[in-house]
Amino acid sequence: MTAPERPLRADARRNREAVLDAAGDLFARRGDAVQMDEIAERAGLGVGTLYRHFADKQALLAAIIGRRFEEMTTLARAADASEDPWAAFETLLYGYLESVEGDAAFRFALLGPQEPRWNDIAAEKTDFSAITERIMRRAVDSGHLREDFQARDFVLITRGAMANMTGTTDWRRHVTLLLEGIRRDAA
């Protein structure tokens, strides 16, 4: 049995956020080449402080994903409020992608050379996934989205679009082409 997590003190919370901000900036610019000591230096902290918060680079990348998923969950809740199932799906998809367009660190964490450690951010992923599943199910049940569409298809679309975020709007064209292929006309 593990002890329940205690809330971080204010200074520890600030340190953690400073590390995440510094790591986000460095990962966005240099990818996997970034070293933990560089992140600590950018954050203005000692490397020991960094390691008290994050055991390794994978834990740090998971935290970057977790922080973004918290924001995505808020976006998904807003999309879910739409009465139109297709509008809810499009709002979720485009909102998700627009929010990550400027977040190269998040894209690196998802698309980088190592699979994220999802168990480190299980709660954040579960919350977002539940709402996303509900939105997709509504779009399928209403006849707007093909019947065999699944959560992993949402992941394929978003990862494909993120891979096309190269400083142009090509990702939007990518998504438009995909949506035309998966959308069904409502009966």
Distances in Å between the Cα of 128 and the Cα atoms of 38, 79, 84, 86 are 32, 12, 19, 18
For residues 6-31, average pLDDT: 85
Q: What is the pLDDT of residue 21?
A: 92
Q: What is the pLDDT of residue 3?
A: 42
Q: Residue 39: pLDDT above 50?
A: yes
Q: What is the pLDDT of residue 187?
A: 45
Give the number of other Cβ atoms within 10 Å of residue 163's Cβ: 14
For residues 133-158, average pLDDT: 93
- Long-range contacts, stretch 176-181, CB < 8 angstroms, 24+ apart: 179/90, 179/93
Of 79-83, 111-115, 161-165, which range is least confident? 111-115
**CATH classification for the domain delimited by 56-182, as one of 1.10.150.530, 1.10.357.10, 1.10.150.20, 3.30.70.3280:** 1.10.357.10
pTM (two decimals): 0.79
Q: What is the pLDDT of residue 37?
A: 94
Where do you find CATH 1.10.10.60 in the chain?
6-54
For residues 154-181, average pLDDT: 87
Cα distance between residue 151 and residue 177, in whole Å: 19
Q: Which two tokens stand for residue 44?
A: 């203005």
Task: Determine phi and psi for 117, rounding to 5 degrees.
Answer: -85, 90
Where do you find CATH 1.10.357.10 in the chain?
56-182
Task: Tell me the CATH number for domain 6-54.
Answer: 1.10.10.60
Residue-averaged pLDDT of the chain: 87
Q: Which residue has the tokens 């367009």?
A: 101
Cα distance between residue 31 and residue 23, in whole Å: 10
Q: What is the pLDDT of residue 177?
A: 87
Side-chain-side CA neighbours of 119 within 13 Å: the count stands at 0
**pLDDT tens-digit map of 92-135:** 999 999 998 888 888 888 888 777 777 778 888 889 999 999 99
Q: Which residue has the tokens 């709660």?
A: 123
- Determine the number of helices (DSSP H) and then strands (DSSP E) in the chain: 9, 0
